[in-house]
Structure 1
Amino acid sequence: MVSNRTSFYTALAALVWCVLVFSFTGCKQNDAPQTKSTSPVVVDTVKAAPQSNVSQPVKPRSPASDDARQALLKRKGELMAKQKRIRASESLTPAQKDSALQVLEAESIEISRKLLAVP
């Protein structure tokens, strides 16, 4: 004899299975066009910019530009290390930290600009 609880769980499992099957496979809808629409659908379209099929040539890097880039990156790393030491320093007042960090930040920004300009 099957109890009511067992038949309930069996029905629940079947329902969950159906939901999973339909959610993964989707429902096939009728291909016939609808004759009556209850709510019109308005689609706002935005035209995409035309894409160029012509690829831009990549400029080869010269050893001089690689050397310049490495020097700038090394200096930027040194500045970041100084900033870290200043922030961790307990002997400086907050005002002293701020003024020192402002100078280092300005130099760091200048190095970033130079890095972007290196071919």
Structure 2
Amino acid sequence: MTDLTNVIDSPDRASVIAHMLLRLAPQPAPEPWPTYAEPVLAALLYAASPLDTGRGIDWVHAILTASAEQDLSAAVDAAGARGDARWLRRYDGLDERQRQCVIVTMCQAITPWLQRPHQEAS
């Protein structure tokens, strides 16, 4: 499967993909979580795109799963991302319970798109 971040050629495209992922997730989260998560996921997808760090969707997942130990904006900055981090800083300002709901919402949306190694035929 192709990494979705490879088709991101603008912040607008990242927003459209984030919207699509959140709305078409296998178990979509109830509102308001997709609405809160959308700009944050768009910023992460853009940071993972070839226009920024080029690290791909697996990197987004790794950032999300490690977010309990660090702020998203700090993690993205540490990766050398050049994108707009205002949405990430806004996320970092949420309380812990809200942050966890946003993280779960984003993880559920991107998990089906992770790049898994091909299994060899036995």
Q: Same fold (TM over 0.5)?
A: no
Instruction: Give 1 or 2 for the bigger CA radius of gyration.
Output: 1
TM-score, scaled relative to structure 2: 0.26
Answer 1 or 2: higher relative contact order, Cα 8 Å, separation at least 6.
2
